[in-house]
């Protein structure tokens, strides 16, 4: 069992946790936090890491539950995000193969961020070929064993001995070197069906990579 926050095209580390633990408690009852993966992903663009952020509707109250956060239409973000993904990955080995699976997410409007993130997560898990057991929390638990709600976040990385990102091919690797723990979309577009193997190999115990997991 593992506790995770919702995330927009979550980083590789988060998918490793879903694969490793299987039973996932998805936090919905927390007060929403800004500047996290909840509405942000990081991809590898031509000029290096690029953050894509979904604008949200400013809550009426300072504190607002994550499940109640609404997506804003401000700034034509869907078109901007899709154009950024195309620019970054149209030369990747598997972009054309998976492109049609993601186009609808940048055409259709979702009201709630949590629903949008989960619909993307379900699509990605189907394409990678594993199915975690997701349970949406109904009350907030301040602390729990295997709790990564606050530790998987941009700019505030916390040492995680269970996660050792295995390098894989990236389009701009010759220019920037390997960029670890980007959005799962980077792994999927670059490695396709081998994505599951990379996730399995990136899960470690006490610093030692675990053998391939059965899923």
Domain that includes residue 194, residue range: 2-209
Residue 195 placed within a domain: yes
Residue 215 placed within a domain: no
Query: ∠ at Cα 30 (25, 33), nearest 5°?
Result: 115
For the stretch 117-171, pLDDT in tens is: 999 999 999 999 999 999 999 999 888 889 999 899 887 677 889 999 999 999 9
Residue 214 placed within a domain: no
Domain count, the chain: 1
Residue 184 placed within a domain: yes
Residue 129 placed within a domain: yes
- Decide if 50 contacts 42 (C-beta within 8 A): yes
For the stretch 48-75, pLDDT in tens is: 999 999 999 977 777 899 999 999 998 8
Residue 79 placed within a domain: yes
pTM for the model stands at 0.92
């Amino acid at each position: 069992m593992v506790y995770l926050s919702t995330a927009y095209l979550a980083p590789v580390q988060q998918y490793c946790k879903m694969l490793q633990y299987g039973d996932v408690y998805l936090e919905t009852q927390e007060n929403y936090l800004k500047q996290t993966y909840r509405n942000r992903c990081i991809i590898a663009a031509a000029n290096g890491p690029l953050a894509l952020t979904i604008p949200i509707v400013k809550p009426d109250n300072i504190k607002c539950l994550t499940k109640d956060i609404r997506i804003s239409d401000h700034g034509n973000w869907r078109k901007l995000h899709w154009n950024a993904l195309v620019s970054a990955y149209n030369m990747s080995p598997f972009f054309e193969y998976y492109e049609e699976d993601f186009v609808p997410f940048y055409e259709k409007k979702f009201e709630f961020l949590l629903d949008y993130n989960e619909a993307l997560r379900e699509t990605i898990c189907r394409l990678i070929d594993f199915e975690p057991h997701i349970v949406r929390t109904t009350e907030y638990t301040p602390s729990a064993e295997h709790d990564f709600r606050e530790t998987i976040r941009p700019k505030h990385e916390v040492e995680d001995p269970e996660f050792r990102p295995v390098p894989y091919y990236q389009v701009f690797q010759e220019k920037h070197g390997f960029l670890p723990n980007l959005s799962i979309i980077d792994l999927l577009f670059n490695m396709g069906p081998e994505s599951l193997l990379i996730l399995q190999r990136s899960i470690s115990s006490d610093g030692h990579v675990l053998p391939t997991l059965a899923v």
